Amino acid sequence: MSFVRVATVSEIPAGTMKHVEVGGKEICIANVSGKFYAINDRCGHENARLSRGSLINTIVTCPMHSSQFDITTGKLMSGPVLELAGIKEMFTGCPEKVKKAVEQMYEGIFEEQRLIKTYDQLVYDVKMDGSDVLVQI
């Protein structure tokens, strides 16, 4: 394994994340108050890019179903949030038959999604070289 340049410090301002692809890997680089961290950029739930989610302090929230990971350890902090409530409201004005069919369809999808196990994210070592950010792959 060796360190590879993936970004410059100016490309990832504090409190933001960047997606990089290097060595066949998709990596999420985050700047937490001037310190850089890197984890696998594909969510273990349904493969969304974590770098397109949000970063608050050290917690990355997945843009698809809100699983949360600690960017410093890759540890899963909370699993996906799957709610039918908002979807039900979208069909409020539809005939009862349509509402029921949509509800059944989404309940089936959510049941399958609940069975998907979400694990900790792989963590990459990061080091700085002047204004460059390097990740060990």
Residues contributing to the site for ligand FES (CB under 6 A): 43, 45-46, 48, 62, 64-65, 67, 80
- State the minimum distance, in angstroms, from the CB of residue 46 to ligand FES: 4
Question: What are the Cα distances from residue 131, in Å, to 4, 26, 53, 127, 135?
Answer: 13, 22, 25, 10, 13
Shortest Å, Cβ 92 to ligand FES: 26
Minimum distance of ligand FES from residue 52's CB (angstroms) = 10
State which residue, 119 or 125, has the beta carbon closest to ligand FES.
Answer: 119
CB nearer ligand FES, residue 97 or residue 117: 117
**Beta-ladder partners of 38:** 29, 124
Q: Which is nearer to ligand FES, 18 or 45 (CB)?
A: 45
CB of 119 to ligand FES, least distance (A): 12
Angle made by CA atoms 29, 49, 124, in degrees to the nearest 5: 35
Helix locations, 26-65, DSSP H: none
Q: Which residue matches tokens 């792959």?
A: 137
The nearer residue to ligand FES, 74 or 80, going by C-beta atoms, is 80
Amino acid (1-letter code) at residue 47: N
Give the DSSP letter of residue 60: E
